[in-house]
Structure 1
């Protein structure tokens, strides 16, 4: 059986896979024009290089392992038609992303940019006044694995956490829950608003002018999910009006962010070039999900494979 990797992994990781699965022919660091596309039963990919033309050539394909949480670039409708199961690595980003978001929140509340600016001027000024997280409220759009870990860290600082999902169903490390329908009503109370939502038909343009206008003029907004959550011009106008007070953006409608984007020069915006999920342990954690799934697949226990993607929901 052929298992085709469309990206490079470390040599010791290749050796480990070959040692644990001697019956499998692993093909590493290949491209979609490789003839092995036609013989491979499993393809491991970051997801952006799989389109319908690849699926048409992959006559033996039964399973696609996407080494990413987002699968919005995948032709999920076609994989469903061909009965190709798709799994992802949902959950592996929670540690680096939650740590990064907490760092940005603390930097904003403790006025660290002002501290750094003063140092660059060799200026001793004790008038900088930060604020505490203790007793504040944070709304987390998408309280799944990443949102839950973020909630856990915030709760350790005494923050009251509110999760927001489609149904309002309870999620881990959330003190209270609201549904998408109750979002507008909840926003005026929030000191921090965080989105880690995936890109789906339900989440595209979920936030409009009325949502930003409802935020406090001291609120910090962070988007670490997907860039189509709102129209960027709407957010730009909202920030110019002071609601929210500031934003930390890791994702954008167009990436790389164009050089002429207003975000680059806005003093109340931090541009993060989609790096919050990056970690030296990314592939290692991906393989920790892939290997048990591969064992289940080989044993015919496909019902036990984790992180199955629902092609209709898109996650």
Structure 2
């Protein structure tokens, strides 16, 4: 059996797997270009997903399983993968801790006016007049109540926040005080001081957050998107910010990445831009390969019970 990785994997992890599974041929490559010569004989491919083309899948005649070190798979050659009935698993759930920490840290950043504090520090301005607000006791609305949303809600509870969640089913979820479905979204948004989207990219979520939802939010609300850039209509968001319909936007994901230098977001004082790093952590690869190993054991035993098996029809 041959396992090929097109991601630049930590040497310690590489060595651990080679020693633990001596009967499996592991080939770790720095990128897909270097992996191309190995893909043809691969039974299993480990990738971040955005480097995998239809040609690679067609070349890999023995390929039975693709494990994504990321969560989103919108860039995968889905048609040929479905035709070949290739198993796809992802690293869903490993992002919960770093993304919940990002959420709280960035909300504190905005509410404590740290942009201005740092500017004043550089310019040696002693400005005690700066407005400082608290996040404790506020209401946070989270669009998406999966593992990431639940962890954000759990951490928010440490700040005694009221936690509201949106999902399609309306079923209650741990850590949330109340769950809302689509028909009640305006009601939820009107209650929220902070609105955080962790929605995945699917056909149903494209431009899901538009002017109608921004108009439903409080004028003092802070909106954050750490899910997918495609879920937000950026033009509507810019208009909402310019017209004072919401107070601030914290954006880690965008319709087009990297964000163009000429994009208005860079120049807007009421927008905080970060370069799609809310999920990053020094523990990222360790956690991703823990999931891979659990599934590898299942794959070898042929039980067919896999963790984080991707549903190609639902889009996550």
Question: C-alpha separation between the residues in 2 aligned to 1:115 and 1:11?
Answer: 40
1:13 aligns with 2:13: yes
Gap regions ≥5 residues in structure 2: none
Question: C-alpha separation between the residues in 1 aligned to 2:72 and 2:241?
Answer: 27
Q: Is the 8 A contact 1:146 1:196 kept in 2?
A: yes
TM-score by length of 2: 0.95
Tell me by how many angstroms 1:109 deviates: 1.5
Instruction: State the match for 1:177 in structure 2.
Output: 179
- For residues 192-247 of structure 1, the C-alpha deviation after alignment (integer angstroms, 9 at most, x for no partner) is 00001110111111111111111111100000011111221111111101121000
1:135 aligns with 2:137: yes
Q: Is the 8 A contact 1:76 1:314 kept in 2?
A: no
Instruction: State the match for 2:216 in structure 1.
Output: 214
Q: Which moved more, 1:59-68 or 1:73-82?
A: 73-82
Q: Is the 8 A contact 1:167 1:180 kept in 2?
A: no
Tell me by how many angstroms 1:299 deviates: 1.1
Please identify runs of 4+ aligned residues in structure 1 that moved more than 3 A: none
Question: C-alpha separation between the residues in 1 aligned to 2:71 and 2:32?
Answer: 21
Question: C-alpha separation between the residues in 2 aligned to 1:39 and 1:125?
Answer: 64
Gap regions ≥5 residues in structure 1: none
Superposed counterparts of 1:17-56, under 5 Å: 17-29=17-29, 31=32, 34-56=36-58
Instruction: State the match for 1:167 in structure 2.
Output: 169
Instruction: Output the aligned Cα RMSD.
Output: 1.4
Q: Is the 8 A contact 2:100 2:151 kept in 1?
A: yes
Instruction: State the match for 1:291 in structure 2.
Output: 293
Size of the aligned set, in residue pairs, is 314
Tell me by how many angstroms 1:23 deviates: 0.5
Instruction: State the match for 1:157 in structure 2.
Output: 159
Instruction: State the match for 1:114 in structure 2.
Output: 116
Instruction: State the match for 1:313 in structure 2.
Output: 314
Question: C-alpha separation between the residues in 1 aligned to 2:202 and 2:182?
Answer: 13
Instruction: State the match for 1:259 in structure 2.
Output: 261
Instruction: State the match for 2:65 in structure 1.
Output: 63
Tell me by how many angstroms 1:292 deviates: 1.3
Q: Is the 8 A contact 1:77 1:311 kept in 2?
A: no
Tell me by how many angstroms 1:128 deviates: 2.4
Question: C-alpha separation between the residues in 1 aligned to 2:262 and 2:38?
Answer: 42
